[in-house]
Each structure stands twice: as structure tokens, then as C-alpha cells.
């Protein structure tokens, strides 16, 4: 398949892996921020291809996983309000909140619907003028422009029963929070491809400058990831950390200005609550005052019970890269994709789901 096969060429992959092995003289730890990268790394056997000196750790780049229990509980409480239709992307519906899930709310009679785009949610609002349609807005910089577009469309078409619960998050501030915590030592970051299509490479520049950590933006095919690791290893070995783009067919240094303008027009920066990390300043997107008629947080009032985490679940540690899924005692015994205990096993981008799906049974040697 054109544009795919050339990024999956096994001969080139072997050569890149040999390059990495030749360059790598000391043990290093890299974090792949994005859950999509974790899945690709396991799917294509990249852990086995790179030398044992390179440890790959999964990070917080799974939007469903990082949605805090308190926020999820709020979404579930909203779903139970009378005359409300709750719309959300697929994975969210099965994630266990503190006491329930959107799936259970649906079984109890709440009108909860899965949508494939934010515009579908606007269309549902248009078709149901007697109901309030709330879209649960999760995701990173990649999805925020589409959510902004849905709000603008609702405004243009005078749709007055469409609302967004904005749980959207920003990537660079949480990277900063992880590095500031010092909990896990990192030498390099495999920066997210899709997020960087929108924001470009400049927002990561503080990472090599202030923390001495190498940053390379990667695509999602095996050669993209191997090239990214090769660039990271070279930067680390030469002691010259910087931001590089190893995904030039998708990412420009300045990002997508149109999408950025759309986001900035509808949203302003605020704090966000991250599962396992807590409240991180300037890492969330709040709907601007001029669009508050669409802001579910402002229009509806719910008071869910205090949140609690699933007993024994180490999703918070997995999200911070402080543990791998194998270090959770519930992994595979109690917690499975059919009967998930935490969001990292529910989400198609979750690290626990990836470890389960690709049969990972041991941590490869690391730091």
C-alpha cells in the first residue's frame, strides 16, 4: 500500500536497529508520551529490535486514561439529569468512574450515545430540540480544534441545546509537570506525532533547554519510530539534546496555524485535573466566556460524591511512567479488556490494554 509499505520495510528497519545498537553505549530511558506509540512499539516488536541499553516507557498520552475520576463522575452525573442526551467518543463509555460508568448510566436509563465526530453530536442536538445534548470533550491538542469547530457551528446555526464538557488537555505542560516531579529519570522523549501536527515543534523547546532531555517527534509506522529512537540515541550520546522532527511528512515546526487559531478563538488556557498526576496549571482548555452558553460546566450543576480510585489499580503510576502494567498485581489476573478495572485497560490507547493485547510478559531490562 503506497505511503504505508515504505514505512514498514523490514530491511530498512533492521538497518536502523543496527545503527541504534552501534550508537548506543550507555543505558538510557525514553518515554513515548503517546499511547498510540506504545501500541505501535509493541505491535511491531520494536522493544525487541532495539538494544537492551534503550528502555522504552509509556507516558500519559492516552486521553481516556488521564481523565480524572472526578471529571468522569461529573460526566456520569450529567448523564443522569432529566432530558439530557450525553454524547462521547467510544472508549469513554466503558471507563469505570468512582461509582459507575457511562455504560452503567445508560443501562439505568440515561440516554448516552457514542459519536464518531463532534459534528455528529451537533446533529443530534439539531434533531432533538427538546433535549439538552452534552458532548464529553476529551482529548489533546489533536481533537480540541474539532470541538472548537462544533461550538462555532452550533452558534452559527443557532442551536441552543448543544453543550460541551471541556476536559481537553494540553501536552507540553504535563511533560513539564512530570519532569519537575523528578519521580522518573528520563533521557529522551518520543514526542507525539498527531499532537505535534497541530502545535508544531516549538512548544517542546523548553525540555532540552531547561531539563537537558532530548525530544524527537515521531510518526506511528515502525520506521518512523525507529528513526525517532535513532535520533534520540544520537542526541543523548553526543550530549546535545534538542527538538527534532522525525515525522516531516506530518509536522511543521510552526504546526497548523489555522487549527491553533480555531482553538485559541474558542478556548482559553486553564488548569486541568490529570489522573495520577493531579491538577496541572495551564494544561487544560476552558471554553471562553463569550461561548459560555455552550459550556456544560457553567450551564448545569451537579454534585457527584467525592471521587475514589479503583482498589489496587496502578493506572496513576502507569500514566506517570513510574510503573509498567506488569507491576500492577491485577494485570491479566483480575483486570482484562473484558473486565477492566482501570481506564488504561479500557482505552484503545491505554498501556495496560497494549501490554495485554501484545502478550507482554516481562519488563525488558531497564534502569
Q: Applying CB under 6 A, which of residues 64, 174, 266, 345 lies at the interface with ligand SF4?
A: 345
Answer for which of 112, 199, 217, 352 binds ligand SF4 (CB under 6 A) is 352
Q: How far is CA 121 from CA 96, 125, 144, in A?
A: 23, 6, 15
Q: Which of residues 323-342 bind ligand SF4 (CB under 6 A)?
A: 325, 328, 330-331, 335, 341-342
Residue 15 or residue 332: which is nearer to ligand SF4 going by CB? 332
What is the smallest separation between the CB atom of 323 and ligand SF4, expressed in angstroms?
8
Query: What x/- string results for residues 266 through 305 when contact with ligand SF4 is judged by CB under 6 A?
Result: ----------------------------------------
95 binds ligand SF4 (CB under 6 A): no
35-43 and 222-238 helices, crossing angle to 10°: 110
Cβ distance to ligand SF4 smaller for residue 67 or 87: 67
Q: Which is nearer to ligand SF4, 195 or 354 (by Cβ)? A: 354
Contacts of 112 (CB under 8 A, 6+ apart): 79, 85, 86, 87, 88, 93, 102, 103, 105, 106
Q: Is 92 in the site for ligand SF4 (CB under 6 A)?
A: no
Helix (H) or strand (E) holding 66: helix 63-66
Q: In what order do the strands lie in the sheet with 111-114?
A: 111-114, 84-88, 132-137, 162-166
For residue 251, state whether it binds ligand SF4 (rule: CB under 6 A). Answer: no
Nearest to 294 by CA among 57, 132, 114: 132
Closer CB to ligand SF4, 133 or 318, in the complex: 318
- Give the closest residue to 85 by CA, choosing from 139, 122, 39: 122
To ligand SF4, the closest distance from the beta carbon of 305 in angstroms equals 21
Q: Which residues between 25 and 64 bind ligand SF4 (CB under 6 A)?
A: none
Spatial CA neighbour of 110 closest among 123, 97, 126: 97
CA gyration radius for the chain?
A: 21
List of residues contacting ligand SF4 (CB under 6 A): 313-315, 318, 325, 328, 330-331, 335, 341-342, 344-345, 352
Amino acid at each position: 500500500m503506497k505511503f504505508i509499505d515504505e514505512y514498514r520495510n523490514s530491511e530498512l528497519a533492521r538497518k536502523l536497529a543496527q545503527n541504534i545498537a552501534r550508537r548506543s553505549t550507555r543505558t538510557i530511558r525514553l518515554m513515548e508520551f503517546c499511547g498510540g506509540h506504545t501500541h505501535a512499539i509493541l505491535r511491531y516488536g520494536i522493544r525487541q529490535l532495539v538494544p537492551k541499553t534503550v528502555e522504552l516507557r509509556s507516558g500519559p498520552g492516552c486521553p481516556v486514561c488521564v481523565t480524572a475520576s472526578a471529571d468522569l463522575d461529573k460526566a456520569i452525573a450529567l448523564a443522569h439529569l432529566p432530558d439530557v442526551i450525553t454524547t462521547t467518543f467510544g472508549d469513554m463509555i466503558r471507563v469505570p468512574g468512582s461509582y459507575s460508568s457511562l455504560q452503567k448510566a445508560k443501562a439505568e436509563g440515561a440516554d448516552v450515545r457514542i459519536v464518531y465526530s463532534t459534528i455528529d453530536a451537533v446533529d443530534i442536538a439539531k434533531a432533538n430540540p427538546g433535549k439538552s445534548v452534552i458532548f464529553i470533550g476529551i482529548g489533546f491538542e489533536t481533537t480540541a480544534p474539532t470541538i472548537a469547530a462544533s461550538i462555532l457551528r452550533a452558534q452559527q446555526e443557532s442551536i441552543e441545546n448543544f453543550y460541551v464538557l471541556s476536559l481537553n488537555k494540553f501536552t507540553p505542560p504535563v511533560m513539564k509537570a512530570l519532569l519537575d516531579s523528578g519521580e522518573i529519570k528520563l533521557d529522551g522523549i518520543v514526542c507525539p506525532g498527531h499532537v505535534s501536527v497541530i502545535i508544531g515543534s516549538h512548544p517542546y523547546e523548553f525540555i532540552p533547554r531547561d531539563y537537558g532531555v532530548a525530544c524527537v517527534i515521531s510518526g506511528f509506522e515502525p520506521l518512523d519510530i525507529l528513526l525517532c529512537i535513532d535520533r534520540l540515541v544520537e542526541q543523548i550520546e553526543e550530549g546535545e539534546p534538542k527538538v527534532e522532527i522525525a515525522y516531516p511528512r506530518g509536522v511543521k515546526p510552526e504546526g497548523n496555524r489555522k487549527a491553533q487559531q480555531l482553538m485559541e478563538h474558542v478556548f482559553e488556557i486553564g488548569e486541568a485535573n490529570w489522573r495520577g498526576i493531579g491538577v496541572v496549571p495551564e494544561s487544560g482548555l476552558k471554553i471562553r466566556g463569550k461561548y459560555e452558553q455552550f459550556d456544560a460546566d457553567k450551564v448545569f450543576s451537579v454534585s457527584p460524591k467525592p471521587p475514589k480510585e479503583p482498589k489496587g489499580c496502578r493506572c496513576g503510576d502507569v500514566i506517570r511512567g513510574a510503573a509498567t502494567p506488569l507491576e500492577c498485581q491485577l494485570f491479566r489476573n483480575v483486570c482484562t479488556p473484558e473486565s477492566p478495572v482501570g481506564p488504561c485497560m479500557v482505552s484503545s490507547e491505554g498501556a495496560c490494554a497494549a501490554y495485554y493485547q501484545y502478550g507482554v510478559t516481562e519488563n525488558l531490562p531497564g534502569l
